[in-house]
Structure 1
């Protein structure tokens, strides 16, 4: 169960999205400002690219033997008065500043790197940044070679974004431009955040419905799934959440089926204990009664009566012993203690062997044992001892519940993938109300009619260990027919 203060997945996704959106907006604003600055530099440099060459062509700057210092200073002052954004410098062939018009204390460099100058003169892509003699970082510039008396005398170096322009640009950037950028970023971020939150709410809606369904299932069980149409919509989806919804529904149904099976097994176990207690109590009570009678009336009974009482007591003792043995055998089969050791054998030979064990018992009751075996039957692959136990239990059951003069038949037929076995008798049959439970618990009809004991439960468990099962076939008239298959 989710605690009240816990953050939902939708809320966590929204916070992460908001942080990422703000980070992306900041990066976008920085890239935009950097691109705008680069564009401005390129435009400025492209427009003023010929300014240095124009200055270098001024003849008044030259005099015999070198530069005219007075003319140079006068020209620099006029240019910087007309366009305060430019700063003009004369460089010697090594890049050292030989003439400039900077106020005292503003010049920070005595020499300018000539590599950017040569790149610009070689036609490198704009903008090309060079040194700022006033130490304010790389700036766009215009440059041209300067010649005196036909020989190279250095370069005219014009910084196109001088100190005054940089100060004004910084103030403007801190003012309207920055505010405009920040407001634009805020508006874009706000719109993106609203759109993202709506999208997350729409995307995570099936997940919230699935979460509600899980909580309902935890509270009300599988019955809650029948009152969750939203879950049906989620389970019909083809995305990952739809697959998760389908898996949850299947898991819930499987858990419900397993829970019902466990409940049914628990009920069967309770009924088994109750019936076994009844089956044990009856012979034990009879055994106790006859033994007590023998002790109390030993001197009053003749030899025949004592022998009859002892025979009855011995018969009840055998019944208790047989029931205890069957119960022990069933427990070993149920808990997997016994594993079938399969081998190949002819089922027809096994039927004849089992018939020999019951031949005397059948003759004593004037019953007929019939083996109806189809020709050409294949051998089966099974545990010989276990299958013998199956046939023994079925024949013993049939002989005990078939009246004198009746018939017990075992038929071996060709099955779909092996041999089909059918055990039929002409007894009273099994009452309709007991037929659904004869293989799951001991059951006896009222009035002492035929039912199902532990023997049939053992038969079914042995066949299940062989990948088969047994069923009671409907039959018109008297008698019961049991059928199973082996391959």
Structure 2
């Protein structure tokens, strides 16, 4: 079954398990260290025991070793010191004399390698075979028995003394269950408990920023609208090494970006709603007029004079054309908004393009008694852009300027070279744009109920096209002094 634990609980559990393992390892190492220290001390103090026994006990006769003669002496020695066990070995390590009770001798041969290491003065403790155990090792003392008058003959055997025999092991087992060992274990348990409590408190202090970040994220998740959350710690610097502080700073910055994006999306959604509402309003007027005139023609066809019928048809056709232009503008704006249009840049002369656009707008300008002027120096004539899209930009700007310029006014297109760009300016001598509409001009294409000076879909299309060219449109307007629209295009390489 999977445990549903928090991060702090999991860290605490892992810390407790590691502490328990460390305490166990420490206890084992301490017991082993004490045991080895005791063995070293006992073996060091009793290093000459076997030599003394060999000197004081007649174990060598005329015919060599006398196992039977030494057994009684071994019993006496083991009675005086029950913790030692004395054995007589032949030169090959075979036990030939001992005082062990019947059935207690489990290993008849003793390995000579530890004995030789002891005799040459090896580092203590040195563990040798325990004859009363199948695989046990004990500290020992040993003395070599040699034949000859000066004890310089070949080795005839060994006096092998186990310094911590069976009696010592039984006494050590009883002491292990005594109050001394219990007090030691209780002391280690108390120290482990104190370390555990201190570790848990420290862990809680360390993870406190993480808890705070968790609560902050939970509050952020419960908000209906993402908001920028305040930092509860100082912002992390570039050299900050506290990962939690860095994470908290990054989350606060992320929440700020999400909040800003949310507000942008909300604003765009609101603008889209207004766009739909305003388009519906603008469509309703020409469609209502078109429907009304068509219905009049249908009901009064027999009574209408030919001239009146032609007038009605002309009005209906004009309203139909207005609806068609609006639908086309919506289609173009949708393609620009969704990235369906990719500009194909080429070198062309702006003067030729401006002349073409002037010809298209000439009739409308003459009807409104507006003059068209241009200022096109040769060094600011050749540009690198999409010819068709820039034509659409100029057409929309000129149409908008002519529509809002009174009779007798003028519309001017001026070019100026600025470094590697050509600055295009379209100005008029109309009434200008009120300051309260400047900010909304490129975001709200229709403004019913205002003075009629609004951006329309044309300016939105202009803005999107220039964005595709890496440029932007700028409006300079003062009430009563007309409006000036400026944008920049990349100059051609050979201009």
**TM-score > 0.5, shorter chain as reference:** yes
Residues 303 and 52 of structure 1, relative CA distance in 2, 3 Å threshold: same
Asked if 2 retains the 8 angstrom alpha-carbon contact of 1:475 and 1:481, the reply is no
Give the match's secondary structure for 2:58: helix
Alignment of 1:89-238 (within 5 A): 89-135=87-133, 137-149=136-148, 150-220=153-223, 231-233=232-234, 238=241
Give the match's secondary structure for 1:443: coil
* 1:38 corresponding residue in structure 2: 36
Q: Deviations over 1:335-386 (max 9, x none)?
A: 2222222223333332233223223432343322111224422743322111
The 10-residue stretch of structure 1 (65-74 or 20-29) with the greater mean CA deviation from structure 2: 65-74
Give the match's secondary structure for 1:434: helix
Residues 477 and 143 of structure 1, relative CA distance in 2, 3 Å threshold: same
Matches of 1:94 and 1:70, distance apart in 2:
19
Q: Give yes or no for the alignment of 1:340 onto 2:338.
A: no
Q: Deviations over 1:78-121 (max 9, x none)?
A: 32122111111111111111111122332222221112111211
Matches of 1:277 and 1:484, distance apart in 2:
31
1:327 maps to which of 323, 330, 335: 330
Asked if 1 retains the 8 angstrom alpha-carbon contact of 2:351 and 2:376, the reply is yes
Matches of 1:225 and 1:192, distance apart in 2:
41
Shift >4 Å, 4+ stretches: 68-71, 221-226, 233-238
Alignment of 1:386-425 (within 5 A): 386-415=389-418, 417-425=420-428
Matches of 2:58 and 2:249, distance apart in 1:
92
* 1:279 corresponding residue in structure 2: 282
Q: Give yes or no for the alignment of 1:359 onto 2:370.
A: no
Give the match's secondary structure for 2:287: helix
Residues 327 and 59 of structure 1, relative CA distance in 2, 3 Å threshold: closer
* 1:461 corresponding residue in structure 2: 464
Greater helix proportion: 1
Residues 177 and 349 of structure 1, relative CA distance in 2, 3 Å threshold: farther
Aligned residues: 481
Q: Give yes or no for the alignment of 1:472 onto 2:472.
A: no
Give how far 1:238 is off. 4.8
Asked if 2 retains the 8 angstrom alpha-carbon contact of 1:348 and 1:412, the reply is no
Asked if 2 retains the 8 angstrom alpha-carbon contact of 1:437 and 1:443, the reply is no
Q: Give yes or no for the alignment of 1:60 onto 2:72.
A: no
| Stretches of structure 1 lacking an aligned partner (at least 5 in a row) | none
* 2:312 corresponding residue in structure 1: 309
Q: CA RMSD in A?
A: 2.3
Q: Give yes or no for the alignment of 1:242 onto 2:237.
A: no
Asked if 2 retains the 8 angstrom alpha-carbon contact of 1:423 and 1:483, the reply is yes
Give how far 1:210 is off. 0.5
Matches of 1:238 and 1:63, distance apart in 2:
82
Asked if 1 retains the 8 angstrom alpha-carbon contact of 2:225 and 2:262, the reply is no
Asked if 1 retains the 8 angstrom alpha-carbon contact of 2:47 and 2:141, the reply is yes
Asked if 1 retains the 8 angstrom alpha-carbon contact of 2:433 and 2:478, the reply is no
Matches of 1:376 and 1:61, distance apart in 2:
128
The 10-residue stretch of structure 1 (117-126 or 359-368) with the greater mean CA deviation from structure 2: 359-368
Asked if 2 retains the 8 angstrom alpha-carbon contact of 1:393 and 1:459, the reply is yes
| Stretches of structure 2 lacking an aligned partner (at least 5 in a row) | 491-495
Q: Deviations over 1:387-421 (max 9, x none)?
A: 11000111111122222221101111234651221
Residues 108 and 195 of structure 1, relative CA distance in 2, 3 Å threshold: same
* 2:258 corresponding residue in structure 1: 255
Matches of 2:57 and 2:251, distance apart in 1:
92
Give how far 1:70 is off. 6.0
* 1:449 corresponding residue in structure 2: 452
Matches of 2:436 and 2:109, distance apart in 1:
115
Q: Give yes or no for the alignment of 1:82 onto 2:80.
A: yes
Q: Give yes or no for the alignment of 1:17 onto 2:15.
A: yes
Residues 62 and 452 of structure 1, relative CA distance in 2, 3 Å threshold: closer
The 10-residue stretch of structure 1 (477-486 or 339-348) with the greater mean CA deviation from structure 2: 339-348
Q: Deviations over 1:266-291 (max 9, x none)?
A: 11111111111111111122222222
Residues 403 and 151 of structure 1, relative CA distance in 2, 3 Å threshold: closer
Matches of 1:257 and 1:271, distance apart in 2:
21
Matches of 2:284 and 2:376, distance apart in 1:
42
TM-score by length of 2: 0.91
Give how far 1:233 is off. 4.8
